[in-house]
Structure 1
Amino acid sequence: MASAAPANSYMLLQYSYVPDILEKRGPYREGHLAGANKMAEEKKLVMAGAVADPVDGAVFIFRNVSKEEVEAFVSADPYKQNGLITSYSVRPYMVVAGDSS
């Protein structure tokens, strides 16, 4: 009998932004998006985006990466390097419904 494929693991990254993020992000946005797109191309980032109404943070869902990899992503993010992120958290994320392939 063949063994089952290992289950995917997920990490949730949540950012809190400065209140005037939309006005301040311009010079750093291209680099911020490039970092996220690189992780997506490597199949390490499932999805990411800002939370809206108001835009005051963002959510990233990573697949099959370590907490250290996510921390390295944050450290390299131009938004973090330039003070646009007031706080962030990295936590394991347990998928119980939906597409987890």
Structure 2
Amino acid sequence: MPKYVMWGSYCEDVLEKRTPYRQAHLDGLAKQKAAGVLVTIGPTKDLTKVFAIYEAQDEATVRQVVEADPYWQNQIWTEYDVKEWIQAV
């Protein structure tokens, strides 16, 4: 199955603004992981960017997953891009 990387940006004051949506976000990630769609996800240390790897049939599926996330829906993630990824090693 194809793999995709997602790079996104966080809003200003992310630690404060994400609080009401954090548990729903984490619950959704756990479901994605259990379903085999999400390989890994996490922020950069400075909390400005998010990086994720997904396994999905196509890019549209990844975009649907990202856009269903409470962080996207509530502007915690302010932008994102998805690219098909070739895992060399």
- Give me the TM-score of the superposition, normalised by structure 1: 0.81
Alpha-carbon distance in structure 1 between the residues aligned to 2:57 and 2:13: 31
- % identity of equivalent residues: 33
Is the aligned partner of 1:89 residue 2:56? no
Number of residue pairs matched by the alignment:
89
Are the structure 2 counterparts of residues 75 and 64 from structure 1 closer, same or farther at C-alpha, using a change threshold of 3 Å?
closer
Q: Which has the higher helix share?
A: 2
- Give me the TM-score of the superposition, normalised by structure 2: 0.90
Q: Partner amino acid for 2:5?
A: L
Alpha-carbon distance in structure 2 between the residues aligned to 1:84 and 1:17: 6
Alpha-carbon distance in structure 2 between the residues aligned to 1:82 and 1:63: 24
Alpha-carbon distance in structure 2 between the residues aligned to 1:80 and 1:46: 19
Q: Which has the larger radius of gyration?
A: 1
Q: Where does structure 2 lack aligned partners over 5 or more consecutive residues?
A: none
Alpha-carbon distance in structure 2 between the residues aligned to 1:14 and 1:35: 18
Cα RMSD for the two superposed structures: 1.2
Q: Partner amino acid for 1:64?
A: A
Displacement of 1:90 in angstroms is: 0.7
